[in-house]
């Protein structure tokens, strides 16, 4: 069983890394326009998520995809900083940042990585809502493949967490994140894109 969970951890990490690579490529092709300010907040959340999950699971391989996610968010942030835009933080982003800081304070003050991780999940759910709404309005606004791969990586992470049996909270994080990423993956699927273009014939498809 340990070999299986190790394989799942590595597979999830590699899949997550591939997703961030594709997202960066899609950004370079102009199919996504990340805001450096928003990604700076997400990089902070991703780092906090990796650290709290590692402390909860006591397993580096299980946490590897979250560390790769933190690095990936940081790379997208620097890419957006160099080639994109840096708009000021809006009210939602300030709320997200404050909740992230609260999560870190809870972890520091009460030595509870579990509660800190739950706050991070709620914070990420708030932060991804505009992306979900945007993809619902127009499925071409987000590149589909990275979101599918993120969903796959987190689903693999969920399976690994279930097999390790280290507690329900270690399953909650990848499962909740898989659902959130999966919502964007579903909204940007190819069949919905084709239907959207058929319903809006005057709109040109993205490059």
Condensed to tens digits (0 to 9), the pLDDT of residues 194-204 reads 676 666 666 55
185, pLDDT greater than 60: yes
pLDDT for position 110: 92
pLDDT for position 203: 56
pLDDT for position 25: 86
189, pLDDT greater than 90: no
**Average pLDDT score over residue span 158-173:** 90
For residue range 3-50, what is the model confidence (pLDDT) as tens digits?
A: 899 999 999 999 999 999 999 888 777 767 777 777 888 899 999 999
Q: 196: exposed, middle or buried (C-beta count within 10 Å: 0-12, 13-18, 19+)?
A: middle
Say if pTM beats, i.e. exceeds, 0.85.
Answer: yes
Q: 11: exposed, middle or buried (C-beta count within 10 Å: 0-12, 13-18, 19+)?
A: middle
For residue range 38-94, what is the model confidence (pLDDT) as tens digits?
A: 788 889 999 999 999 999 999 999 999 999 999 999 988 888 777 766 667 788 889
**Average pLDDT score over residue span 143-167:** 93
pLDDT for position 172: 94
Average pLDDT, the chain: 87
Tokens at 163, concatenated? 């097999």
pLDDT for position 19: 95
pLDDT for position 202: 62
Residues 70 and 83: beta-carbon distance below 8 Å: no
């Amino acid at each position: 069983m340990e070999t299986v969970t190790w394989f799942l951890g590595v597979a999830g990490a590699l899949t997550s890394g591939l997703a961030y690579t594709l997202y960066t490529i899609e950004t370079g092709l102009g199919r996504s326009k990340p805001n450096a300010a928003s990604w700076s907040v997400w990089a902070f959340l991703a780092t906090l998520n990796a650290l709290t999950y590692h402390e909860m699971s006591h397993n580096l391989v299980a946490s590897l995809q979250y560390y790769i996610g933190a690095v990936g968010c940081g790379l997208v942030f620097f890419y957006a900083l160099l080639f994109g835009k840096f708009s000021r933080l809006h009210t939602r982003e300030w709320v997200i940042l404050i909740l992230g800081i609260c999560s870190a304070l809870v972890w520091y003050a009460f030595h509870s990585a579990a509660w800190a991780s739950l706050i991070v999940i709620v914070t990420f759910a708030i932060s991804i809502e505009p992306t979900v709404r945007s993809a619902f309005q127009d499925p071409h606004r987000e590149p589909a493949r990275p979101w599918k791969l993120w969903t796959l990586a987190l689903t693999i992470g969920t399976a690994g967490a279930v097999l390790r049996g280290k507690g329900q909270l270690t399953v909650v994080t990848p499962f909740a994140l898989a659902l959130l990423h999966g919502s964007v993956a579903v909204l940007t699927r190819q069949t919905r894109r084709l239907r959207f273009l058929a319903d809006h014939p005057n709109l040109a498809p993205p490059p």
